[in-house]
Structure 1
Amino acid sequence: MTIGVLQLGVGVLYALYMWAAPDSRSVPSVTKDDLVKMLPVGFCAMGAHCFSVFALSAGAVSFGQIVKAAEPAFAAVVSTAVYGKSISTAKWLALIPVIGGVVLASVKELDFAWSALIAACTANLFAAFKANENKKLMETPGLKDRIGSVGNQFALTTILSFLFGLPLLLAREGHKWSEFVSLFRSNSVISTNLFTSGLYFYLYNELATLTIKKTNAVTQSVANTAKRVIVIVGVALVLGESLAPIKLLGCAIGIGGVLLYSLIDKIVYG
């Protein structure tokens, strides 16, 4: 919890710097009512990030990323059950390889942990709610103009996420704060990794948001699939994690299912 919230805090510092720096980014002119409407998005973003961080620390990073790849399944269920949106039959069928791939990749997982699985699934659930709440939010008349840019939109979301996470951090792990500060000061690896991971997380998400605005659905689907492959294989190689054949097969089926889910309506219905 501490690492996840402080990573959001690094993003807040970057966002404030971008607003304060001359000729950099204009400050959004949002109202109090606008900020209130943004609270659900901020809360869901905080939950998605913090549970993702916990999932990656509770088990193999590659395993956590494979479970995270099943996010479309959670999005489909939440969109249908909570927000009353319709999902085509083709998309529902495309979820079969997504879920099957995750299950197959988990069968021989040497570093399997229920806590990692539950945390990754919870992160997917928060991400699904965030996507729907964000879409509903951006339908507010005039809000886009008051925010000013995609960068400002993500900055505001990050600030709200940090504010939501801070009291939870203090309530859950506040008794260990002095211990963490001591470790932070004495170990340069922790301090360096905290700042760099927080900054990279912010910049990646801001760039991803900008990319969504400037590319078509097919490009986004292919890029997202490629990202999953690079992350899963990359972390396994760097961290020396197991990539057994059955795990690779499950990973390939699951990620292929994600790509199919993204494109199936265009393929079937034109």
Structure 2
Amino acid sequence: MKLSTVILLCAAAPTVALVPGYPSQRVGHVTGGVSSPAFTKAGSNLATALQTSEDSQAVAVASRGGVGSALKNLDVPLIAYFFFWYLGNYYYNITNKLALRAAGGKTGFPMTISSLQMGVGCLYGLFMWVAPDGRKRPSVNMDDIVKMLPVAFCAMGSHCASVFALSAGAVSFAQIVKSAEPAFAAVLAQFVYGKKISKAKWLCLPIVIGGVILASVKELDFAWSALIAACIGNLFAAVKGNENKKLMETPGLKDRMGNIGNQFAITSMLAFLISVPLFIVKEGSKWGQFVDLYKTNPIVSFNLIASGLYWYGYNELATMTIKKTGAVTQSVANTAKRVIVIVGVALVLGESLDPIKLLGCSIGIGGVLLYSVIDKIVGNA
């Protein structure tokens, strides 16, 4: 992992607790801030999962060469990728929600905030090309840029729709709905991109959808706008995944990009440029109000910048884990991440965690996990 990426996530995390308006009082059994039990529990769960994986690897390797060999075979960079990916996503959801709340929620500036978050991320992407430990700049041509536009448009749509969903309802509710993304991906892959989905995977989708419905039944912060926006975000994310794969299979493009980080940087920059006309049309008339709010309200200004950096950092780290593992591992890890985010963020921000909601969340996320690995268990039939 590049040093600047680690510095970005490490430096931003402790400062969240210093922002006026960040939950510092007790909420339920939880105090806000970096040292809250919610975050400690989330980190503990991640550490336990990583430790279990490490222990299994250690047992297998010990028989061939003892503890020394086990330590040599430990993939420390991969563990760091996962840890900072989870950490960045956790803090992104907190800082994003705080910025949206302080700016008026769904009636405030959700489109402006989502667009500027991508803009902040783009500045970091540019920094990586000039930093001493940064990455080599890509040598793409205009034809490459044109081919990347569909991916960039879908990335913009996915991010903006997700931010609006988070502004309209609870973070936990939006995350539960977003966990149904495999259902959208399966339909698109089968009927639009002509990629066969196994019967076993299709049978997992009712579990996912049923869990989402159950989790929504007694949702205190339920809003149709949040549900619709999250579903639109899922649709864009599913298209983006398929288009991104097609893009990476384009002859010569991978060489001109140089690495996955460059591809993500260029896609993010294009997504930001595409979002600008949309936020001008939707909220451009309120730009002066937003500027005044940004200047006078440190909760908005700090959390806007922090959420943009977290958004860029955790997405890039998630991309790196795919390169070192695979799509199935990535999907399982993404499912585990949602559990930590839903429970941890809901407790810190004082959102509802009704037993029915937790049951539906468990069923839906369990269905996603099963969907991710079912073909490995029963074969691709």
TM-score with structure 2 setting the length: 0.70
| Equivalent in the alignment of 2:118 | 8
Higher Cα Rg, which structure: 2
1:187 matches 2:297: yes
Unaligned runs of 5+ in 2: 1-110
Cα deviation 1:224-267 (Å, max 9, x = unaligned): 12101001101110111111111000000000000000000000
Identity value in percent? 75
**2:168 matched to which residue of 1?**
58
Q: Which amino acid aligns with 2:266?
A: L
Find the counterpart in structure 2 of residue 163 from structure 1. Answer: 273
From 206, 212, 235, the equivalent of 1:102 is 212
Q: Secondary structure at the match of 1:75?
A: helix
SS in 2 for 1:74: helix
**Counterparts of 2:202 and 2:245, CA distance in 1:** 21
RMSD over aligned Cα atoms: 1.0
The answer to whether the aligner puts 1:27 opposite 2:137 as a matched pair is yes
Query: Within 5 A, what are the aligned runs for 1:216-235?
Result: 216-235=326-345
How far apart are 1:220 and its partner, in Å?
2.2
In structure 2, which of residues 138, 144, 147 is the aligned counterpart of residue 37 of structure 1? 147
- Pair 1:218–1:38, CA change in 2 (3 A): closer
2:378 counterpart of 1:263: no
Distance 1:22 1:112 in 2: 47
Q: Hey, what does 1:150 align to over in structure 2?
A: 260
Distance apart, 1:222 and its partner CA: 2.8
Alignment partner of 1:29: what SS?
coil
Paired position in structure 2 for 1:117: 227
Amino acid corresponding to residue 293 of structure 2 in structure 1: L
Match of 1:17 in 2: 127
Task: Choose from 133, 137, 149 the match for 2:243.
Answer: 133
* Alignment of 1:92 onto 2:202: yes
Query: What amino acid is aligned across from residue 143 of structure 1 in structure 2?
Result: L
In structure 1, give the amino acid aligned to 2:169: G
Query: In structure 2, how many angstroms separate the alpha carbons of the residues matched to 1:117 and 1:180?
Result: 26
Larger relative contact order (Cα-Cα within 8 Å, sequence gap ≥ 6): 1
Aligned equivalents of 2:282 and 2:329: distance in 1?
41
Hey, what's the Cα distance between the residues in 2 that align with 1:141 and 1:203? 28
* C-alpha deviation, 1:268, in angstroms: 0.4
Distance 2:202 2:196 in 1: 10
Give me the whole-angstrom Cα distance separating, in 1, the residues matched to 2:260 and 2:250.
15
Q: Distance in 1 between matches of 2:274 and 2:321?
A: 27
The separation in 1 between residues aligned to 2:265 and 2:242, in whole angstroms, is 18
Question: Alignment partner for residue 325 of structure 2, among 212, 215, 228?
Answer: 215
The match for 2:352 is: 242
What letter matches 2:290 in structure 1? F
Whole-Å separation in 2 of the counterparts to 1:240 and 1:64: 15
Pairwise CA distance, 1:79: 1.1
Residue deviations 1:165-198 (CA, integer Å, cap 9, x gap)? 0111111110000000000001111110000000
Structure 1: which amino acid aligns with 2:221? D
SS at match of 1:91: helix
Report how many aligned residue pairs link the two structures. 270
d(CA) in 2 for partners of 1:197, 1:217: 26
**Structure 1 unmatched runs, 5+:** none
Q: Deviations over 1:65-109 (max 9, x none)?
A: 000000000001111121111100000001111000000000111
2:112 and 2:245 mapped to 1: Cα distance? 29
- Name the CA distance, whole Å, in 1 between partners of 2:329 and 2:351: 30
TM-superposed deviation, 1:110: 1.1
Shift of 1:60: 1.2
Inter-partner Cα distance in structure 2 for 1:246 and 1:2:
34
Give how far 1:64 is off. Answer: 0.6
